[in-house]
Structure 1
Amino acid sequence: MMINAKPKLVIFSGLASEQVILDADRPFLRVQLYDTATLKCCYKGGSKFLTWIKRDSSAAKNRVKDTVSEVESDSLHCSTLTFDKVELNDTGLYQCYLNKSKVETHGTYMQVYKPMEKTINLSESTKNTILMFEGFLLLLCVIVPSSILLFKSRSLKQLEMKKMKQEEENIYQGLNLDECCTTYDQIERSQAHGAYQDVGNCAGEGEAIQLEKP
């Protein structure tokens, strides 16, 4: 990933006759563990002798390599630092230190990372089986609660019918069946006989005639 840096910076050393113009460095570089990495710094003016230094998390300077920069176009001095296989402890900020001018370049921060490893290596068939099993579980989660609600509603309905039947039976528990039958017989007898007794139908002449009152 390349990020455009600020315009070139002009830095004067202790002597007015020497000036160093630093070129834009790559600010960040992310490299996978055991891969190859290349860092580069460029500048104009100053000495061609320089030293690569590294700043780690403790901000301490560590000398990495003494080298001589190569002259490219327009008197541009450039130096490269190459890592054949980077390690995790190679993470840090790398700068070029110009020995004679005592100037440090902006530098490049290199981050070495370790890729995540698969904890479980599953084949495609196993993944498909797991997906089918998850779908079956999802179906059960839908059907089982519906069945339970249906069973509960049916049980409540039966309970209500049983309760209504018990209430109907309780209505007739307080009634005396003998009294009900006597009253019923009296009503039937009064409807079967007329309002007046027939004198001609009496059994004997000596019997007293009792007429029913109207």
Structure 2
Amino acid sequence: MLVIPEPDLPSSRLKPSETATLKCCYRSSRNFTVYWVKIVHNKNGTLASFVTSRVYDFSRETVAGANENVICHKLTLKNVTLKDAGLYKCYVDVGNSSLKHSVYTHGTCLQVCKPKTSKSISNRFKNNIITAEGVLLLICVVIPGLLLLSKAKRQTTLEIKYYKEQENLYEGLNVEECSSTYHQIEPSQLPQTYEDVENTVTKDVEPEKP
């Protein structure tokens, strides 16, 4: 006598407070006692427990399979929570039959995920937009201000340099000495470069006699 597990639904993904409906099937000519087992993998290893320890509402029932000699068992978990996540398998208790080992079905992985609300996503998106706007505003205000400040500082430096050069140019000159020297020069001391052109012509040139 053989007990052959049938394929199970690989996984089921639900939100908290929803109802989970799991089913396991096996092929056999005899109906055995079946227990639902929850297997959880955590940091301490693998932990297996019977579903009867669940504090929430659950129900078990035997349903007819799709084919002859296929026996199915259904497990309903109401108001699932994050703690209900795990791998659910059917444990077929063969008892004192001729089978040497008990049989486990393939199992269904139940995932309970807390959804991200659209409100939180919307708020996060708004916060990102506000942050980006603040950064752009800071760039638009600070960079032009720094450029203007740098330009004004450079202009002030050039003006200071120009005034210093002008002061150095007139530093060795004494204005009073220049003025007295100028007034000491008299017109009589200047050489008489020009002569009376008319007198010179009269004396040097005589009319020719015919």
Q: Same fold (TM over 0.5)?
A: yes
Query: Is the CA contact 1:41–1:107 (under 8 Å) kept in the aligned structure 2?
Result: yes
Q: Does 1:163 align with 2:161?
A: yes
Secondary structure, aligned partner of 1:59: strand
Over 3 Å counting, the alpha-carbon distance change for 1:114 and 1:191 in structure 2 is: farther
Give the structure 2 partner of residue 112 of structure 1.
112
Taking the aligned partners of 2:189 and 2:138, their CA distance within structure 1 comes to 71
1:61 to 42, 48, 53: 48
Q: Please, which moves more after superposition, 176-185 or 24-33?
A: 176-185
Question: Which amino acid is 1:56 matched to?
Answer: V
Secondary structure, aligned partner of 2:145: helix
Taking the aligned partners of 1:99 and 1:25, their CA distance within structure 2 comes to 18
Per-residue CA deviations over 1:58-113 (Å, capped at 9, x if unaligned) read 53332226754534324322221111211232222211111225211111121223
Taking the aligned partners of 2:82 and 2:103, their CA distance within structure 1 comes to 28
Taking the aligned partners of 1:89 and 1:137, their CA distance within structure 2 comes to 43
Question: Which amino acid is 1:53 matched to?
Answer: V
Query: Is the CA contact 1:48–1:70 (under 8 Å) kept in the aligned structure 2?
Result: no
2:190 to 186, 189, 192: 192
2:171 to 170, 173, 181: 173
2:70 to 56, 76, 80: 76
Q: Does 1:48 align with 2:31?
A: yes
Taking the aligned partners of 1:108 and 1:27, their CA distance within structure 2 comes to 5
Over 3 Å counting, the alpha-carbon distance change for 1:48 and 1:134 in structure 2 is: same
Q: Please, which moves more after superposition, 75-84 or 150-159?
A: 150-159
Query: Is the CA contact 2:25–2:65 (under 8 Å) kept in the aligned structure 1?
Result: no
Secondary structure, aligned partner of 1:73: coil
The two structures, once aligned, show a CA RMSD in angstroms of: 3.4
Per-residue CA deviations over 1:27-55 (Å, capped at 9, x if unaligned) read 22222111011111122125323221122
Q: Please, which moves more after superposition, 142-151 or 28-37?
A: 142-151
Over 3 Å counting, the alpha-carbon distance change for 1:134 and 1:93 in structure 2 is: closer
Question: Quick one: higher RCO (CA 8 Å, sep 6+), 1 or 2?
Answer: 2
Secondary structure, aligned partner of 1:170: helix
Query: Is the CA contact 1:48–1:69 (under 8 Å) kept in the aligned structure 2?
Result: no
Secondary structure, aligned partner of 2:158: helix
Taking the aligned partners of 1:96 and 1:31, their CA distance within structure 2 comes to 20
Over 3 Å counting, the alpha-carbon distance change for 1:193 and 1:148 in structure 2 is: same
Point out where structure 1 has 5 or more consecutive residues left out of the alignment.
1-17, 196-214
1:28 to 7, 11, 15: 11
Question: Which amino acid is 2:169 matched to?
Answer: I
The number of residues matched between the two structures is 172
Taking the aligned partners of 1:36 and 1:139, their CA distance within structure 2 comes to 50
Question: Which amino acid is 2:90 matched to?
Answer: C
